[in-house]
Every structure is written in structure tokens, then in C-alpha cells.
Amino acid sequence: MEPIAKLITIDRSSPVPLYFQVAERLQDLIESGTLAQGVRLENEITLADQLGVSRPTMRQAIQHLVDKGMLARKRGFGTQVVHNRVRRQVELTSLYEDLSRDGREPRTEVLSFHTVPAGGDVAAALQVEPGAEVLSVRRLRYAGDEPLAIMHNHLPAGLIDVTEDDLNRRGLYELLRAVGVTIQIAEQAVGARRATAGEARLLGETRGAPLLTMSRTAYDDAGRPIEYGSHLYRADLYSFEMTLRAR
């Protein structure tokens, strides 16, 4: 691969700070796969000289991507591309579909699959009586070989005839559409918390590592709740994105 500096252009007449321009170009190279996971960057002094920027500017650009979880600094080893983060638009799609669309090779491991009595939160979300039977599915979702998310879904009992093998091979929303269930709208909340020891073990993280949380209640075209999901995502590999418009 040609020197990284030759793949980066900056506009010195732009009001955008130079460090941010450099960081954005590096991020584009990582997200496009030009800079793959494991690639080492040249040292800051060399990159700064090649780009004609100061060393503090180069250091700030790299630190910006370290903070975003895309680069890592290792003493005696330099700066390395560690991850191409999954960037998910906040829209009504499934994680399986998003990963497939981006060529990230989704893979699923079903952790549990059984009928359980609905607890308070699940019963309220699915509009069933507390204690009513619901299908509970807990899965570990991978992007390639990297564990990415723990997904826990509840569905009304009898909504869909699905097997554990089906869930290993296909996304839940795809399976619902296949039996004529149309997901029309959803209510969603995004938050964050620290990983428990069990969650950290599944996700290849350390106990207490930051995780993104997402809860979602999805409704069909008749306005009936058909799925309640409570999911955890690795914060170093995953982000939610949205476009905001002024009124």
C-alpha cells in the first residue's frame, strides 16, 4: 500500500481545523477498508512532515480517532487500526440487515430460546397480562469473528413458528416478514451502562467496560406490539447515528 499521507488531502483555506480534516480522511480510509484492522500507521513525526502539518496537529487528529475506538496506541508498537466500527442509522431495521448490507458477515449464536411468563416491563410493552406466556430469545450477534451485541427479544406466544436453527441462520425481522408480519413503527430508547462479568465474557470485554443499550417495541401495521427487544452493544465497535432537521 502506498504511504498513508498520499491518500490524505487537506484544504488549508477551509475553516475546518486541520486536525479534524486529517482525522476525517483517516476515518474514511478505515471505514472504506483501505486501512484494514491491524494496519500500523507511520509515526506522528513522519506523518506530520509528509502532510505539512505540525506534530501537535497530527497528534490531535490521531487522538480523535483513538477516542472514537478506531485507532489504538501501543507503547513500543505505534498506532494501529483496531476496528472498523458499525455505524447504525437510527431507522427501523434489524442489526442483521445492517451488517449484511455493509458486508460485515453477520453470525448468530442462540444463547437461550424458550417460553417464559411475561415480567412487568415485557408485559407492558407487549400489552399482555403479567405472567402471560411469551417467547424469549437471547442471542449473541457477531460481525465476522468479532462479538458485537447481546440481543434479548420477547414476542407474543404463537406469533411465529420459529426454531433455534432458523434464528442461527436468519435475522428475526426477516423471519417475521416471511410469515406475513409487517413491522410498521417502533418506539426506541438508547442509553449506556457498564458490562457485568457475564456480559463482558460473552462480548470479549473487561468487566465494567462501557456498553450501549437499546430497548425497542415494534408494532405491526394494525398497531399491535409484536416484539420487545432489549439489546447491548460494544461501545468500541458500535454507534448510533441520526440526522437532525430544524423545524
3-state secondary structure of 188: strand
Question: For 191-246, how does the pLDDT look when each residue is reduced to its tens digit (9 = 90+)?
Answer: 999 999 999 999 999 999 999 898 989 998 888 899 999 999 988 777 666 665 66
Sequence-separated (6 or more) residues with CB below 8 Å from residue 43: 78, 79
For the entire predicted model, the pTM comes to: 0.62
Question: Which of 214, 121, 226 lies closest to 175 in space, CA to CA?
Answer: 226
Does 4-81 match 86-241 in CATH topology?
no
Write down the pLDDT at residue 2.
64
Confidence band (pLDDT; 50, 70, 90) for 16? confident
Write down the pLDDT at residue 15.
86
Q: Tell me the fold of 4-81.
A: Arc Repressor Mutant, subunit A (1.10.10)
Inform me whether the pLDDT recorded for 175 exceeds 70: yes
Question: For 83-141, how does the pLDDT look when each residue is reduced to its tens digit (9 = 90+)?
Answer: 655 555 444 566 666 666 666 677 889 999 999 999 989 999 999 999 999 999 999 98
Residue count of the chain, please give it.
247
Write down the pLDDT at residue 154.
96
Alpha-carbon distance values, 97 to 93, 101, 172, 207, 246 (Å): 7, 6, 10, 29, 29
Cα separation, 72 vs 237, whole angstroms = 13
**Is there a contact between 171 and 96 (Cβ–Cβ < 8 Å)?**
yes
Write down the pLDDT at residue 103.
63
Question: Which of 149, 131, 132, 152 lies closest to 140 in space, CA to CA?
Answer: 149
Question: For 43-80, how does the pLDDT look when each residue is reduced to its tens digit (9 = 90+)?
Answer: 888 999 999 999 999 999 998 888 777 788 877 778 88
Write down the pLDDT at residue 246.
66
Q: Tell me the fold of 86-241.
A: Chorismate lyase (3.40.1410)
Inform me whether the pLDDT recorded for 187 exceeds 70: yes
Alpha helices (H) along 68-216: 95-101, 120-126, 164-169, 172-178, 197-203
Number of neighbours of residue 24 by Cβ within 10 angstroms: 16
Beta-ladder partners of 220: 183
Please report, for the chain, the start and end positions of each structural domain, with discontinuous segments joined by +: 4-81, 86-241
